[in-house]
Amino acid sequence: MGATGVTRRVRDTDRDWEKIAKECPYWGVLSADEFKGSNLSEPARRKFFASGEAYVSNLLGFVERHFGLVPLEKLLDFGCGVGRLVIPFAAHARKVVGVDAAPTMLERCHDNIQMLRINNVSLILGDDDLTNVTGPFDFINSTIVLQHIPPTRGLHLLEKLLTLLSPGGIFAVQMTYGRARRFLEHERPRARFYRRSGSALIDLLESEHQPAEGTITMYDYDLNEIMALFSQHAGSPLMVLPTCDDDHLGAQFIGRRALST
């Protein structure tokens, strides 16, 4: 609550992503101009899905080097979008489950899977409690997804994901924790004034401004909260790989679910 008593409501990002899925589903996943529009040219399409193949190959190679071979009987990709990662994961796992909050994203993903005649992928519409998702899973992945979900919801979802893992199962989860100063311009409509308190900027006279529906919003997570959550569910070691996407600082956490909690 700001100095004016304005209570900023938690944004319904699921509605944003349904609009994005209808208008620019591929650009919503990888925000490069060549991926704009509801459909891609064939060269852009190949480049888009090649990026997913590279990610999956690098991730599974890293996991094998540091954690050994993982039996990929059942794998979950949270925030699967149009299937950029689900499709290459399907070549490595016996069964893959893709979860997304936007029905139109799942429709696009289904079309892409059908085009390639992939038959070991199930798609599920997700909610904040992952009600329709049944574990356990050997491997859970989520990348460039939680950064678009408000942390109050995202931390709850992360804990739900971790409880869906088999003991000893692998998770690979990426989220952001900071961004470059140039993004302060996007914060301008939030309040009329601000004050500095040490290294913190505090809004004064907050507004009720909300970006237009379909805006891609970014959220920064508190690394202390994340590590506290992992301390309750993760075993050792916990690998942390730095990420920096368009000047958004993040980290990919790779580890095992503890054998006992």
pLDDT of residue 65: 96
Answer yes or no: are the C-beta atoms of 254 and 171 closer than 8 Å. yes
Q: If residue 140 lies in a helix (H) or strand (E), which one and from where to where?
A: strand 137-142
Answer yes or no: are the C-beta atoms of 2 and 204 closer than 8 Å. yes
How far is it, in rounded angstroms, from Cα 25 to Cα 86? 15
Q: Of the candidates 119, 59, 116, 57, which has an alpha carbon nearest to the alpha carbon of residue 254?
A: 59
pLDDT of residue 261: 58
For residue range 158-209, list pLDDT tens digits in order.
Answer: 999 999 999 999 999 999 999 999 998 888 898 999 999 998 889 999 998 8
For residue range 117-131, list pLDDT tens digits in order.
Answer: 999 999 999 999 999
DSSP 8-state secondary structure symbol assigned to residue 89: H
In sequence order, what are the residues at sequence separation of 6 or more whose Cβ sits closer than 8 angstroms to the Cβ of residue 45? 26
Strand partners, 74: 95
N- to C-terminal Cα separation, the chain: 36
For residue 215, give Cα distances in angstroms to 16, 21, 23, 106.
6, 12, 12, 19
Category of 47 on φ-ψ map: left (φ > 0), alpha (ψ -120 to 50) or beta: alpha
Task: Calculate mean pLDDT across residues 80-92.
Answer: 98
Task: Calculate mean pLDDT across residues 46-60.
Answer: 97
Write down all domains in the chain, each with its CATH number in brackets: 13-186+216-256 (3.40.50.150)
Answer yes or no: are the C-beta atoms of 255 and 239 closer than 8 Å. yes
For residue range 206-255, list pLDDT tens digits in order.
Answer: 998 888 888 989 999 999 999 999 999 999 999 999 999 999 999 999 99
Confidence of residue 12 (pLDDT cuts 50, 70, 90): confident
Instruction: Tell me the pTM.
Output: 0.92
For the chain, give the mean pLDDT.
93
